[in-house]
Amino acid sequence: MLTRAQRGQDPPRVLKKEPRSSGKVGTLGWCFGGGWALRLALADPDVTATVVYYGRLESDPEKLKKLAGPVLGIFGAEDRNPSVEQVRAFEAGCRTAGVKCDVHVYDGAGHAFANPTNSRNFRPEAAKDARGKVREFLGRTLK
């Protein structure tokens, strides 16, 4: 969490200076925030790991080449935004760009399936599995 004085500064650079920091910075977001997590990683080479939970994606390999680190994508097979087709296009774009990208699409899960306050879409088993994948990914890439 950034202090009031740190807001407005470059967050990745500020976070890298934190005493508990490994010197690496990751982004993580859900829905709208998932898209912004990817956008920040595309814009800032100091971002070394990115987690996108069902957010807006980019599939252009030329743009994806800007990613400085791997990406973990968490999506629902029943989601329409992004659709499975969009997820596969993102995955193919990463592969073409030479970006390590680990994508997981959960069957029977729709948008916001990891949100426990969304009783209609919440899928506890998929959410638990995804959370474990995120912890392992961030632990490995940010250590």
Are 99 and 65 in contact by the 8 Å Cβ rule? The answer is yes
3-state secondary structure 38-66: HHHHHHCCCEEEEEEECCCCCCCHHHHCC
Mind listing the pLDDT tens digit of every residue in the chain (143 residues)? 555 545 555 656 666 566 666 678 899 999 999 999 999 999 999 899 999 999 999 999 999 999 999 999 999 999 999 999 999 999 999 999 999 999 999 999 999 999 999 999 999 999 999 999 999 999 999 98
Structure confidence at residue 32 (pLDDT): 95
Q: For position 28, which CATH number holds?
A: 3.40.50.1820
Query: Domain for residue 117, yes or no?
Result: yes
How many structural domains does the chain have? 1
Contacts of residue 39, Cβ cutoff 8 Å, sequence gap at least 6? none
Query: Domain for residue 128, yes or no?
Result: yes
Query: Domain for residue 123, yes or no?
Result: yes
Strand 47-53 and strand 101-106: the pairing is unpaired
Contacts of residue 104, Cβ cutoff 8 Å, sequence gap at least 6? 72, 73, 74, 75, 129, 130, 133
Structure confidence at residue 49 (pLDDT): 97
Query: Domain for residue 48, yes or no?
Result: yes
Query: Domain for residue 101, yes or no?
Result: yes
Query: Domain for residue 107, yes or no?
Result: yes
Amino acid at residue number 114: A
Structure confidence at residue 142 (pLDDT): 93
Query: Domain for residue 139, yes or no?
Result: no
Query: What is the rounded distance in angstroms from the CA atom of residue 110 to the CA atom of residue 127?
Result: 11
Give the global pTM: 0.87
Structural domain for 65, as ranges: 24-133
